[in-house]
């Protein structure tokens, strides 16, 4: 079997039309990043760090001449960026998401609103301004909860939550709940960093007490209120649904050959565990109430992390032999965790399974655009963009191009180890068409 790195990657890449950005300023860089959406209505309601810009979705819809009423699907919809732009462009859309917290964001951002909802929303803000902390509230069972929040801030947050849950209008309480969820990270003594939560070093400088939380909450509400007229304007024109199920079940919810376009960014093969990174939102928002709930969620997701599993099929290595060579190469290395080669194989089994569902659901002439990052372990590149493209070709897709959006930064050790292969450490956009 070929040695995965030497010359192999290059010859592998020659199978596809890989385009590197020539000038830095014209890359897709800002569009594969959520940060550029922080001043856009509705998108700014929650900063979903793993999300992309709705401007990228708009470009893709335009490129493929998507018409009003066409069906767009996002099998990994996260916070709903694809669905929101599809709605703005008057396309029907369906998103799949297994994380209840993310699915909630996607749903609240894309559901229909009426003028009456706005009036009720404004009325409830006045009531919430009067809220005083209760001393007895239901505290989530997350073991680290007391380190995560200042006691005063925690009591205030949980009292607010109780009040929000008592609101009769479901749409209004959803909007307020989203505002509440959006400030949890900033209200706490931790921040999301890499694949987990890190305590803030600057904790002494900022006192995250009740007053601080209150200001954050009403600022977030203010943003939502300012955007609600736009939300009303785009309402009632198309169907948007968020399905809380794995995209492996896509064919249960969509007809064969019915989808015009699929746009998504899946989890990456980077040991990232979404249930870990969003655990505070999941517990605080009562999306999980026991550790067993968290475990169930983790099991449903694409296996991009190291939390124990078996390889149940040979789908991936049999379809794309290059993957077998890569897994062997990784197995021959001393890596920081010995489960990594298995994770890589399991990840591609899951991704190939998802792509088969997507291929079957697409119409002839339909398209699929995937935004994905490569990774590296022990100096070995995991060229996810090329492997997904190879599998797409195996399924019958035309791989039109792979556009490199930006280079990615790994740990300094990986950076040294992968010097020769730096061009492969990248985030790419894969363009596929079903002929
Ligand atoms: C990179 S994020 C998508 C972000 C999204 N494009 C946005 O802009 O908000 C990938 C998402 O896939 C979800 N996910 C993981 N496994 C899944 C599965 N089997 N089915 C559906 N969603 C899944 C994760 O919970 C995560 O929210």
Is any ligand 1 atom within 6 A of the Cβ of residue 9?
Answer: no
Going by alpha carbons, the residue nearest to atom 13 of ligand 1 is 76
Give the 3-state secondary structure of residue 401: strand
Q: What separation in Å is there between the alpha carbon of 97 and the centre of ligand 1? A: 6
| Residue 26 falls inside a structural domain | yes
Is any ligand 1 atom within 6 A of the Cβ of residue 302?
Answer: yes
In this prediction the pTM is 0.95
User: Burial letters for 391-420: b for 16+ Cβ neighbours within 10 Å, e otherwise?
Assistant: bbeebebebeebbbbbbeebeeebeebbee
Nearest Cα residue to 2 out of 335, 423, 326: 326
Q: What separation in Å is there between the alpha carbon of 15 and the centre of ligand 1? A: 28
Choosing from 214, 233, 252, the residue where a domain stops is 233
| Residue 255 falls inside a structural domain | yes
Same domain, 189 and 104: no
Number of independent structural domains in the chain: 2
Distance CA 139, CA 146 (A): 9
Same domain, 328 and 400: yes
Is any ligand 1 atom within 6 A of the Cβ of residue 52?
Answer: yes
Is any ligand 1 atom within 6 A of the Cβ of residue 95?
Answer: no
Same domain, 33 and 84: yes
Going by alpha carbons, the residue nearest to atom 7 of ligand 1 is 51
CATH code, 304 = 3.40.50.150
Q: Which atom of ligand 1 is nearest to the CA of 81?
A: 8
Q: What does the pLDDT read at residue 200? A: 78
Choosing from 180, 207, 233, the residue where a domain stops is 233
- H or E stretch at 35: none
Whether residue 218 has pLDDT greater than 70: yes
Q: Which atom of ligand 1 is nearest to the CA of 275?
A: 25
- H or E stretch at 113: none
- Span 151-174, mean pLDDT? 97
Going by alpha carbons, the residue nearest to atom 17 of ligand 1 is 301
Q: Which atom of ligand 1 is nearest to the CA of 48?
A: 9
Q: Which atom of ligand 1 is nearest to the CA of 75?
A: 21
Helices and strands of the chain, counted as H and E runs: 19, 12
Lowest mean pLDDT among 77-86, 238-247, 325-334, 407-416: 407-416
- Span 164-176, mean pLDDT? 98
Q: What separation in Å is there between the alpha carbon of 78 and the centre of ligand 1? A: 4
Q: What separation in Å is there between the alpha carbon of 162 and the centre of ligand 1? A: 29
Distance CA 262, CA 392 (A): 13
Task: Copy the structure tokens of residue 21.
Answer: 């950005």
Mean pLDDT of the chain: 92
| Residue 285 falls inside a structural domain | no
CA angle at residue 312 from 308 to 317, to 5 degrees? Answer: 105
Lowest mean pLDDT among 142-146, 193-197, 268-272, 333-337: 193-197
Nearest Cα residue to 343 out of 314, 295, 304, 369: 304
Task: Copy the structure tokens of residue 288.
Answer: 């999980």
Is any ligand 1 atom within 6 A of the Cβ of residue 104?
Answer: no
Same domain, 270 and 188: no
| Residue 284 falls inside a structural domain | no
Is any ligand 1 atom within 6 A of the Cβ of residue 159?
Answer: no
| Residue 281 falls inside a structural domain | no
- H or E stretch at 124: helix 115-129
Q: What are the angstrom distances between the C-alpha of 161 and each of 113, 164, 333, 343, 407?
A: 22, 5, 49, 38, 41
Q: Which residues pair with 380 in a beta bridge?
A: 377
Q: What's the sign of the alpha-carbon dihedral 188, 265, 315, 424?
A: negative
Q: What is the residue-wise DSSP string for 228-282?
A: HHHHHHTTTSS-EEEE-S-GGGHHHHS-TT-EEEEEE----SS---HHHHTHHHH
Is any ligand 1 atom within 6 A of the Cβ of residue 60?
Answer: no
211: domain range? 115-233
Same domain, 43 and 172: no
Is any ligand 1 atom within 6 A of the Cβ of residue 78?
Answer: yes
Is any ligand 1 atom within 6 A of the Cβ of residue 268?
Answer: no
Nearest Cα residue to 400 out of 18, 41, 92, 131: 18
Q: List pLDDT tens digits, range 354-365.
A: 999 999 999 999
Same domain, 264 and 316: yes
Q: What is the residue-wise DSSP string for 266-331?
A: ---SS---HHHHTHHHHHHTTS--SHHHHHHHHHHS-S-S-S-------HHHHH-HHHHHHHHHHH
Same domain, 337 and 429: yes
Same domain, 268 and 385: yes
| Residue 224 falls inside a structural domain | yes
Same domain, 93 and 122: no
Q: List pLDDT tens digits, range 34-63.
A: 888 889 999 999 999 999 999 999 999 999
Same domain, 211 and 249: no
- Token look-up 């019958």 returns 396
Is any ligand 1 atom within 6 A of the Cβ of residue 304?
Answer: no
Q: What does the pLDDT read at residue 37? A: 87
- Span 396-413, mean pLDDT? 87
Q: What are the angstrom distances between the C-alpha of 205 and each of 183, 197, 231, 237?
A: 18, 19, 38, 48
Is any ligand 1 atom within 6 A of the Cβ of residue 424?
Answer: no
The model's confidence at residue 326, banded by pLDDT at 50, 70 and 90, is very high
| Residue 2 falls inside a structural domain | no
Q: What separation in Å is there between the alpha carbon of 411 and the centre of ligand 1? A: 24
Is any ligand 1 atom within 6 A of the Cβ of residue 101?
Answer: no
Q: List pLDDT tens digits, range 333-351.
A: 999 999 999 999 999 999 9
Choosing from 233, 267, 284, the residue where a domain stops is 233
User: What are all long-range contacts of 250-254, with beta carbons under 8 Å and residues at least 24 apart?
Assistant: 250/73, 250/75, 250/96, 250/354, 250/357, 250/358, 250/361, 251/357, 251/360, 251/361, 253/94, 253/96, 254/71, 254/73, 254/94, 254/361
CB atoms within 10 A of CB 356: 18
Q: What separation in Å is there between the alpha carbon of 264 and the centre of ligand 1? A: 8
CA atoms within 13 A on the CB side of 4: 25
| Residue 337 falls inside a structural domain | yes
Q: What does the pLDDT read at residue 3? A: 64
Q: What separation in Å is there between the alpha carbon of 52 and the centre of ligand 1? A: 12
Characterise 257 by phi-psi region: left (phi > 0), alpha (psi -120 to 50), beta (else).
Answer: left
Same domain, 36 and 185: no
Distance CA 262, CA 278 (A): 25
Q: What are the angstrom distances between the C-alpha of 263 and each of 72, 182, 355?
A: 8, 25, 12
Same domain, 177 and 313: no
CB atoms within 10 A of CB 141: 11
């Amino acid at each position: 079997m070929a040695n995965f790195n030497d010359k192999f990657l290059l010859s592998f890449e020659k199978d596809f039309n890989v385009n590197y950005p020539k000038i830095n300023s014209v890359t897709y860089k800002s569009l594969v990043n959520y940060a550029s959406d922080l001043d856009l209505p509705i998108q700014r309601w929650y900063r979903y760090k793993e999300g992309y810009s709705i401007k990228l979705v708009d470009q893709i819809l335009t490129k493929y001449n998507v018409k009003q009423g066409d069906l767009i699907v996002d099998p990994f919809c996260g916070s709903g960026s694809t669905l929101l732009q599809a709605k703005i462009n008057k396309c029907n859309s369906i998103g799949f998401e297994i994380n209840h917290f993310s699915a909630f964001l996607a749903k609240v951002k894309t559901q229909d609103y009426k003028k009456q909802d706005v009036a009720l929303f404004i009325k409830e803000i006045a009531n919430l301004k009067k809220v005083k902390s209760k001393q007895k509230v239901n505290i989530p069972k997350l073991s680290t909860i007391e380190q995560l929040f200042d006691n005063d801030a925690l009591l205030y947050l949980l009292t607010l939550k109780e009040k929000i849950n008592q609101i009769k209008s479901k749409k209004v309480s959803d909007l307020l709940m989203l505002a509440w969820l959006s400030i949890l990270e900033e209200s706490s003594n931790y921040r999301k960093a890499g694949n987990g939560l890190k305590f803030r070093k600057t904790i002494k400088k900022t006192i995250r007490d009740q007053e601080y939380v209150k200001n954050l909450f009403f600022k977030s509400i203010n943003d939502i209120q300012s955007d609600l007229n736009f939300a009303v304007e785009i309402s009632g024109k198309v169907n948007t649904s968020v399905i809380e199920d794995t995209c492996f079940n896509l064919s249960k919810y969509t007809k064969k050959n019915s989808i015009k376009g699929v746009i998504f960014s899946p989890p990456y093969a980077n040991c990232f565990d979404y249930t870990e990174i969003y655990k505070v939102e999941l517990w605080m928002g009562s999306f999980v109430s026991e550790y067993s709930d968290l475990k169930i969620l983790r099991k449903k997701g694409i296996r991009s992390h190291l939390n124990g599993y078996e390889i149940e099929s040979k789908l991936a290595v049999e379809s794309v032999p290059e993957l077998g060579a890569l897994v062997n190469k990784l197995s021959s290395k001393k890596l920081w965790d010995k489960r990594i080669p298995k994770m890589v194989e399991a990840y591609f089994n899951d991704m190939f399974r998802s792509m088969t569902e997507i291929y079957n659901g697409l119409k002839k002439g339909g398209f699929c655009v995937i935004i994905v990052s490569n990774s590296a372990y022990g100096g070995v590149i995991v060229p996810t963009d090329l492997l997904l493209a190879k599998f797409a070709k195996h399924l019958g897709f035309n791989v039109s191009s792979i556009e490199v959006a930006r280079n990615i930064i790994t740990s300094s050790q990986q950076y040294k180890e992968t010097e020769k292969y730096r061009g492969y450490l990248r985030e790419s956009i894969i363009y596929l068409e079903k002929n």
